């Protein structure tokens, strides 16, 4: 029992260490993203002010060019939405695959447990199934579960 407690403590300590490293990485990435966004914002505003700083007597840009940039923005927006949709679909598909893998793994573990019980030399006095490890003993008989031990008649 002491070994089990120590092992659990070590596992908990390891998990905490892993979570802390993930938190730090996440904070660093968030900080980098924020810095990049600020740089992009200020560089865009500087470029815009330089472009506006020209001669005021010059005519403004052709209105048709503005429409072209609006359609470019619309197509860029559509492309971004499509990319986001593909990304969500990919994540959904990965989640489905992970769930299927987990279900398959659980099924395999259950089958392995059933096979171990079938191969067991000790048999339950109540149900006749295999007894793993030491099982439960009551009235000098071995049982596979507490349910079988409760339902057994002396």
pTM for the model: 0.38
Share of the chain above pLDDT 90, in %: 29
Residue 7: pLDDT over 80? yes
* Alpha-carbon separation of residue 144 from 61, 105, 130, 149 (angstroms): 86, 24, 7, 8
Residue 56: pLDDT over 50? no
Classify residue 135 as exposed, middle or buried by CB count within 10 Å of its CB (0-12, 13-18, 19+).
buried
Instruction: Pick the range with the lowest mean pLDDT from 8-12, 68-72, 141-145.
Output: 68-72
pLDDT per position as a tens digit, 57-96: 444 555 555 556 777 778 888 888 889 999 999 999 999 9
């Amino acid at each position: 029992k002491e070994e089990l407690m120590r092992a659990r403590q070590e596992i908990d300590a390891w998990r905490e260490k892993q979570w802390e490293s993930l938190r730090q990485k996440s904070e660093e990435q968030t900080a980098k993203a924020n810095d990049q966004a600020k740089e992009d914002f200020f560089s865009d505003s500087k470029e815009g002010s330089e472009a506006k700083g020209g001669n005021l007597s010059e005519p403004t840009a052709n209105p048709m060019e503005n429409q072209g940039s609006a359609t470019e923005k619309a197509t860029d927006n559509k492309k971004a939405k499509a990319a986001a949709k593909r990304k969500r679909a990919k994540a959904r598909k990965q989640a489905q695959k992970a769930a299927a893998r987990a279900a398959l793994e659980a099924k395999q573990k259950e089958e392995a447990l059933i096979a171990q019980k079938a191969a067991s030399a000790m048999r339950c006095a109540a149900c006749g199934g295999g007894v793993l490890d030491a099982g439960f003993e009551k009235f000098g008989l071995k049982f596979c579960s507490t349910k079988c031990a409760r339902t057994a008649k002396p």
